[in-house]
Structure 1
């Protein structure tokens, strides 16, 4: 089975993606991860203004199959969360790289992005 892995973003081995735009990093989970989880029923996210650390837990995603921790691809301050997910968690399944995004982080150290996997490296990992 083939999964969508846009090459305009970077990935964590734990299946989160990061898309840096104008100094802000938008975060979500990969197509592979949402497929493995099955139907997402709940997402727990930090509040705006909270700090997160690279590769540390920032929230929880719950599906009909499992509960999984979510990990931050970069450290910094949470500047936005996708509140639509509280009422419509299925957006993570329907559009993991678009409407299903989770949060935006203003990174404290943009060089942390250099430690993430490219789309090709991530695809090799999930193959």
Structure 2
């Protein structure tokens, strides 16, 4: 399982790449592997203010429909529109293909996310 060292992780199997005051949000390798072939991604609305824990996107696979939850409070400033036509990009490389970019409202919330080491241990428990 691929767990990049430069990201933060959630217990819902999302990742965040923080870049200044913005965070790229996506699903992890663990998530895409367990979902199977992804066939549809419902992206969040642009300029939507979101709260921590709120469902902001939906990923559908041949096996299941799963919500993507925001790991922080902020505003959606960009969507990865490539996923509308090519949702399978999340299976090919979930870390190169984010779902959305969020403008961070409260940086302190980042402290509640898992390090790569903690996430690896969490995933081991899930198997």
- The answer to whether TM tops 0.5 is yes
Normalised by the length of structure 1, the TM-score is: 0.95
- The alignment yields a C-alpha RMSD, in angstroms, of 0.7
Residue 86 of structure 1 aligns to a residue whose secondary structure is helix
CA–CA distance in structure 2, aligned partners of residues 124 and 88 of structure 1: 31
| Residue segments in structure 2 that go unaligned for 5+ positions in a row | none
Structure 2 residue aligned with 1:81: 79
| Separation in 2, partners of 1:120, 1:54 | 22
Give the C-alpha shift of residue 33 in structure 1: 0.5
Q: Which residue number corresponds to residue 11 of structure 2? A: 13
- In 1, Cα distance between equivalents of 2:69 and 2:101: 13
Provide the rounded CA distance (Å) in 2 between the counterparts of 1:43 and 1:125: 25
**TM-score under structure 2 normalisation?**
0.95
Establish whether residue 115 from structure 1 lines up as the match of residue 125 from structure 2: no
State the 4+ residue runs in structure 1 displaced beyond 4 angstroms. none
Aligned residue-pair number:
124
